[in-house]
Amino acid sequence: MPESERKTKYPQLGYGLGLRPDHFDEVLDGKSEMDWFEVLAENYMGIPGHGQSPLLKKLLRLREKYSLVLHCVSINIGATSPLDFQFLKDLKELKNLIEPSWLSDHLCWTGIDGKNTHELLPLPYTIEAVQHVSERILQVQDFFGERFMIENTSSYITYKSSEMTEWEFISEIVKKTDCGILLDVNNVFVSSQNHSFSPKKFLDSVPFANVGQIHIAGHDRRSNGLIVDTHDSAVCDEVYDLISYLSLNKELPSIMVEWDDNIPDLKTYEAQVLKVKESLTSPKVKAWT
């Protein structure tokens, strides 16, 4: 897609976190230092009578105070089965209610033929997959009438049929669709360790103009040497180092932390992303910029 046809940049929302139900009340009570929140769309969809769900009612109250973005795990953008338009319709209903700043899901597939693994399975990085996923992203963007954001996932396997690197794969899709990128720096780190590539090479190579959001999170190093994206612990130093590296010559977009298991208290959770804020406003980093 030519540069001239590209849409405007995503808004800079500041520092945020993936809001989990455990912390709703504290945030509503004004105890949060965050600028914005990301919420998992599926938690508010598909529940019979979800309009009456106490959780959704709380979310709508939160929306009055904060910017929100909707993050999904089930669009199944990479699957070879047809897109689930009932799911997209339900998502659109929620989106119209919440009015998020943007909508995102993972660059992966989760199942086929109506069956689900509940896993974010990687795609082979092939020309066929670029074409297939790009067509589906365009369909989704048409359906919502706006840009859709795709997140790079952590992966534990490499397909023999892959014809390019992950960052080349993402770049090709962005060229064809002008979709946004949710750059998960923890996932970059995890995959780089699992597949022995340079995480800095990845960060240098993705089309950064399309990056609208950054994720950071914790992971788990297994006894067999594999690193698994568990979101159950604090962010590691290597991930913070990669954020610093990015900030050397790039203007960072909205950044947030995710934590999904063994969720700590709100203060500990927020401290993960506030650490980035502190480092970016420190004299050392100011000198870099």
Among 49, 145, 284, 286, binds another protein (CB under 8 A): 49
- Min dist CB 256 to another protein, Å, is 23
Tell whether residue 61 is a contact of another protein (CB under 8 A): no
- Min dist CB 261 to another protein, Å, is 10
Number of shown-chain residues binding another protein (CB under 8 A) = 44
Question: Which 93-112 positions form the footprint of another protein (CB under 8 A)?
Answer: 109-112
Our CA angle for 156, 147, 204, nearest 5°, is: 50
C-alpha atoms less than 13 angstroms from C-alpha of 150 in its C-beta half-sphere: 30
Greatest CA separation found in the chain?
54
Distance from C-alpha of 63 to C-alpha of 74, rounded to nearest angstrom: 23
User: Nearer Cβ to another protein, position 36 or 109?
Assistant: 109
**x-or-dash string of contact with another protein, 230-269, rule CB under 8 A:** ----------------------------------------
Tell whether residue 217 is a contact of another protein (CB under 8 A): no
- Min dist CB 61 to another protein, Å, is 17
Report helix, strand or coil for 226.
coil
**Is the separation of the CB atoms in 183 and 171 below 8 Å?**
no
Please name the amino acid found at residue 94: L
User: Nearer Cβ to another protein, position 121 or 137?
Assistant: 121
- Min dist CB 244 to another protein, Å, is 28
Q: The tokens of 232 are what?
A: 């159950």
Question: Which 155-194 positions form the footprint of another protein (CB under 8 A)?
Answer: 156-161
What are the contacts of 86-92 at 24+ separation with CB within 8 A?
87/45, 88/140, 88/143, 88/144, 90/45, 90/46, 91/41, 91/45, 92/143, 92/144
Binding site for another protein (CB under 8 A): 42, 46-53, 73-74, 79-80, 84, 87, 109-112, 114-119, 121, 123-124, 126, 128-129, 132, 156-161, 196, 222, 224-226, 228
